[in-house]
Amino acid sequence: MLWTGDLEDAPSSCFEANEFGELPTCSYYGGEWHRSFENSGDPSDGFGGFVALIIILGVIAAAGTAYWRVTTARGMARRSGLDEDEAARMALFTETGLETTYLASTMRRREVEAAPAPAAAHDHDDVADRLRRLDRLRDEELVSNEEWGERRRAILDEL
C-alpha cells in the first residue's frame, strides 16, 4: 500500500540527485521508503545501441558487396567463356579479383572476336570444280606435275 502522507516525513535521500543529476521518485510501501530513478542507467546507454546499429549495417553492407562482387565476376566469366567458380573465388578472396576478372574477360572476348573465322567448308561440288580446273591447268601445261600435286593436296586438305 502506498503512503500518501506529507513529504515532510520523507527521508532526505528522496531529495538527493544521483551522479547524473536526476532526482529520484520516492514511494512508501511495505513500511519503508523506496527511491528509484526513471533513467537509472548511464545516459550514454543509447551510444551502445548506436554502435550496435552501425556494426549491423556494416555487416549487411559487406555481405551485399560480396554478393555483388561474386555475381558480377560470374557474369563476366560466363559471357567470355572463363571458369565461373574461379572468377568468383578471385573476386571474393583477393583484393583486385574483380578487376582481374574484368581484364581477363575483356581480353578473352577480344581474342575470340579477333580470331579468324574458320574457313568455310567447301561443298563437294566446289572441291570437284577446283580439282577439274587444276587438272586442266596441268593438261595445258600451265602448272608442273609437282605444282599440280602440291595444289591438289592443299585442296583435299581443306575438306
Measured from the Cβ of residue 137, the count of other Cβ atoms closer than 10 Å reads 14
Residue 67's pLDDT is: 95
Return d(Cα 138, Cα 132) in angstroms, integer.
10
Amino acid code (one letter) for 11: P
CA atoms within 13 A on the CB side of 118: 4
- Residue pair 100/94 in contact (Cβ under 8 Å)? The answer is yes
92, 66 contact by CB (below 8 A): yes
Report the predicted TM-score, pTM, of the whole model to 2 decimal places: 0.44
Cβ partners under 8 Å of residue 69, min gap 6: 91, 92, 97, 98
Tell me the average pLDDT of the chain: 82
- Domain segments of the chain: what residues? 1-43, 46-114, 124-157
Taking the CA atoms of 13, 15, 16 and 20 in sequence, report the sign of the dihedral they define: positive
Q: Count CB atoms within 10 A of the CB of residue 122.
A: 14
Give the pLDDT mean for 86-102.
89
Give me 159's grid cell. 575438306
What confidence category does residue 2 fall into, taking pLDDT thresholds of 50, 70 and 90? very low
The whole-number average pLDDT for the span 10-30 is: 82
The pLDDT, as a whole number, for residue 16 is 86
How confident is the model over 16-32, as a mean pLDDT? Answer: 83
